[in-house]
Chains A and B, each alone.
Chain A
Amino acid sequence: MATRYEQIMARKGEIMVRALGMDYAEFERGPIAFDYEGMMAAHGYSLADIRGIQRAAGVGGTPLLELRNLTDLVRSYAEPGFGARIFVKDEAANMAGSFKDRRASMSIHVAAKKGYAGVIAATSGNYGAAVASQAARAGLKCIICQETFDSRHIGQPEIVEKSRLCEAFGAEVVQMTVGPELFFHMLELLDETGFLSASLYSPFGVSGIETLGAELAEEMRALTGAPPTHVVVTHAGGGNTTGTARGLKRAGATSTEIVSASVDLSGLHMASDTDFNRKSFTTGHTGFGVPFATWPDRADVPRNAARSLRYMDRYLTVTQGEVFYVTEALAKLEGLERGPSGNTAMAAAMSLARDLPADATVVVQETEYTGAGKHHWSQLAFAREQGVEVRAGDPADNVPGTAIVIPERPEQIRAVDFDLGRMHRSYVRNALSRAPEGYVPTPEDIVFLAEDTNTSPATIEEIIAELRAG
């Protein structure tokens, strides 16, 4: 007899069609290709429409700040003539404290318009608070499913803080122990309530981030006369990179280099009960960043609107200790006390700016709020309690889950380039392995894979030949 888990998973298609608020089937072109731009445009909202919806929802229009002290700090150790100007878009100024309000505002708008009584999202991060806040304003009910505790009932303080904030905004928070069956329970709840699935990965949500890219392009033009030369984006599931890059392009910033950045958590297993509380970051890390970039359609929607390999020009990793150092530096030098995920891009930006000429402009496209639980002191105290070593030294000696090494000097902050070629190969391997046994990719598939990786059909053919040769 099928278990409860198997019974619900077998009904996944049926439950999701009702809960998603759109039909993905019309965009499918075969086992590999689908019409991405068609899917993104199907909701019919222009960038101007989205701006209007967000303005009414109290979202966006956050300040863009130049960080002159941080820039001079970097210049103090950069080669003469180097040290780009560093800017930040203070997304923590959104109501629920992060850029996730932009995503949530669109899902909530759609839920209200289509007459859903409420929304459900599976998220342990800022998105839950954003959905809860927007749902409260729209008078909709809200359930947030969170992976909160390990099997000892010990919660990552950052996630516990997220539970608190979601509840503060009137959401029902379903807290769970570690495991991917979170998705199964979300399906059960969608089935029971008939609410909209406010997925992080829907075209509604990802389109909502385009305003961030467009705003910062316009604000940089006003401030410096040109769009930024570089934008650094904290990257996990890929929506942040995708939406920001699309918005920049819409605003005409076509030559801006898109640099995604994640905290290196290599070696830690994301579904492991024991590893769960040995990490000090709950998002913006490689544990999400790499799998989602190389296989976006692992998400809770049939086709993921967040497809980061289409847009990233570089992918940098930094260590937990480097981000904590930069978090402290930002507060003390710039009067900006902000949370860890946004500061992941900030750490990468300091390293990047050091190697760029002084007239280059680097924008960190977001900050997030901080507070009890999320704060770097809180995270370091928790790491120590979990048996992770915290010490000062060379951050290159950092070992995820074992040792957090806080730099002694800013020169030690050195982001590492992740090999994009490796990500492209891994993406193509994943795409092929999802197609039926013996399926031969069509010319349309090859073009799709080239677009989805921002490479060329020739590169895709080469990768396929390589994979065939074994």
Chain B
Amino acid sequence: MTDESTVIELKNLTKVYQNGVEFRALDNANLRIEKGEFVAIVGPSGSGKSTLMHLIGLLDTPSSGTLLIDGKDVTKMSDKERSGMRNRILGFVFQYHHLLPDFTALENVMMPLLIAGKSREKAKNVAEELLEKVGLEGRMDHRPGELSGGQNQRVAIARALSCSPAIVLGDEPTGNLDTKSGDMIYELLRQLNREYNQTFIVVTHNDDLASKADKIIRLVDGKITVR
């Protein structure tokens, strides 16, 4: 049974890597995440945090089990449907900013909107508004090579939010930053979460930051230990 408020549901979700030896990176994960929750995922290195994020972010496919997003079984979807969901329902922030190097900050934030088929004008308005929100109003026409790590990471967050996704995923979004900028970005995410009631799932090694989340999920050897 999935009720209205559940956005993500994992049922025995498993990811097995098979290069010679079988390796269970995610082992029978069962989990339910509610709409508007801010979830922190913690665990030692190699415990399967990124694997879980990639599965939820539809960047990877599970070996077995089911994954429901908005009540729909995404494991049975075509590439077109999955890419459509990545575009409109999911926003991904990586540890490294992963911006397109040939495009300016503004163009990078506009890109998901253009992919969604929005007009240039509409995309530009939304992107400008978001860049202002992350404090980059003066840096919109700079390319990633001309911005600092923290600035690029903020552009990446603006990009992840541009299509107003229901779910924002962050895989150590502050991992590459100093504590101060890290805290700032974390604060920004928390603030956006409260403001727009979007669901946030963030991987972090920082227990301090994790403690501020609504829910903490601990992974050990591919298994969810605390819910």
Binding between chains A and B: no
